[in-house]
Structure 1
Amino acid sequence: MSDKTDKDTQSGKADVWALISTLIAGPALWGGVGYLIDTAVGGRVFIILGLLIGAVMSFYIVYVRHGRS
């Protein structure tokens, strides 16, 4: 196999890991913020909102970085 093919494969793997980490980090971060707000206020709605906002923003970021041609 040539060096160019190896670099392309490594680049593809890096892109996949970047996508996966973005999709996990958004809900984790904003879910955590929602959890902290829920703990301070004594409710349960902010963690759900945080998870939803994090998921939507993660998909948007992935779309902007990799989805548009």
Structure 2
Amino acid sequence: MNGRPAESGEKPSADGMTVVSYLLGGLAVWGGAGWLADRALGFEALFLPIGLVLGLVGAIYLIITQYVRF
């Protein structure tokens, strides 16, 4: 992530900007989908919070699967 290839046995560190972009991207995409669903179906704010939560959970899942090794 820092422009250098990882040496053998060395795990690459998580790039902070990548993690932040996953979080913001998940919120934007799924929150936007929830907002569009609210607009299309005539609700005030039903699907927007659901979309935001789904986007956040999905982003955290991606971050954990890519950067956290147990």
Same fold (TM over 0.5): yes
**Same amino acid, percent of matched pairs:** 34
Structure 1: gaps (5+ residues): 1-5
Structure 1 residue runs of 4+, over 2 Å off?
none
After TM superposition, the score normalised by the length of structure 1 is 0.77
Matched residues in 1 for 2:49 and 2:33: separation? 10
> Is 1:48 the counterpart of 2:60 in the alignment?
no
**Count of aligned pairs between the two proteins:** 61
Query: Cα RMSD (Å) of the superposition?
Result: 2.1
Structure 2: gaps (5+ residues): 6-11
After TM superposition, the score normalised by the length of structure 2 is 0.76
- Deviation of residue 68 (structure 1)? 1.8
